Structures are given as C-alpha cells and as structure tokens.
Amino acid sequence: MTPRLTTLLLSDYAQVREQLLFVSSGGISRVVQATFPARPRIFLATVVHVPAGSLGRTHEVMVKLKYPDQAALIGSIAMNINVQQAPQGAAPGEGVNVPHVLDLSPVAFPHPGQVDVQVSINGEPAGDLTFWMLQSRPKE
C-alpha cells in the first residue's frame, strides 16, 4: 500500500501541533507582491496518509515549484516520512495521517506568473495545485 496525499493547501499561516494541522487563511490562489524577486510569507500545508502496510518504512515526499509556461523550476523541497507504528489504541489496519508545513518564505520567486506546486511520493505523482504570483500596481 502506498502513502497518499490527502491535503495540499496554500495559506497565510500553518503549523503542526501534537500531530494536528492548524491552518489560518487557507486556500490562497493569488499572491500579490510589490517587487520581484519576491519572498512572500506563505505556507504550504500537507497531510500524507500512511497506510498500516507502509508503516516502518521511509517514504520520500518531493515538492516542486515551477513556472509552467517556461517549465522553469523555482525550487524543490524533499522530506522523508517514517512512521514506525500506529498510535496506541489504533484499530487493526489503521493508518496514520502525517501533517507537515513548509514555510515558503525562503523561496525567491523571480517574476510574476502562474506557479504550479507538484508533489510526488516515492517518485510517483501525488497531487498538485496552482496559484498566481502577481505584481501590485503602483498607486496613482
């Protein structure tokens, strides 16, 4: 059984506390910046469901940010998930949801445009989302 991406969400803020995902102002589809390159303070929230049959193994999650019109890679982030066992009291065969938050502020977006976020797990496509980096217009 293969882990699967169950949540992929761009937000103003997100954190994981006690294996729970907290998201504030989620569902962002447009990010407006005054200047470029830009380093917006946005967060990518993910939840990967690891089925019981995949516990105890390491799974690689790869996140790529791209400008699709040029096939240009903006950045990539790799992380490993390894859950040894289901939590105490779990039902037989119960998997585990693993939330993770990526702070995207270190990523420099060179110019405005459509941005695709592509997620793979163990080298297989797992999910994607699209948002737009826009430049604010000067006030007259």
**Is residue 87 reached through a cis peptide bond, with omega within 30 degrees of 0 on the bond before it?**
no
> Which among 115, 103, 30 has a CA at the least distance from the CA of 69?
115
The answer to pTM > 0.75 is yes
Give, in words, the CATH class of 4-135: mainly beta
Per-residue tens of pLDDT for the chain, all 140 residues = 789 999 999 999 999 999 999 999 999 999 999 999 999 999 999 999 999 999 999 999 999 999 999 889 999 999 999 998 888 888 988 999 999 999 999 999 999 999 999 999 999 999 999 999 999 987 76
- In three-state form (DSSP H/G/I as H, E/B as E, the rest C), the secondary structure along 13-72 is EEEEECCEEEEEEECCCEEEECCCCECCCCEEEEEEEECHHHCCCCEEEEEEEEECCCCE
d(CA 30, CA 23): 17
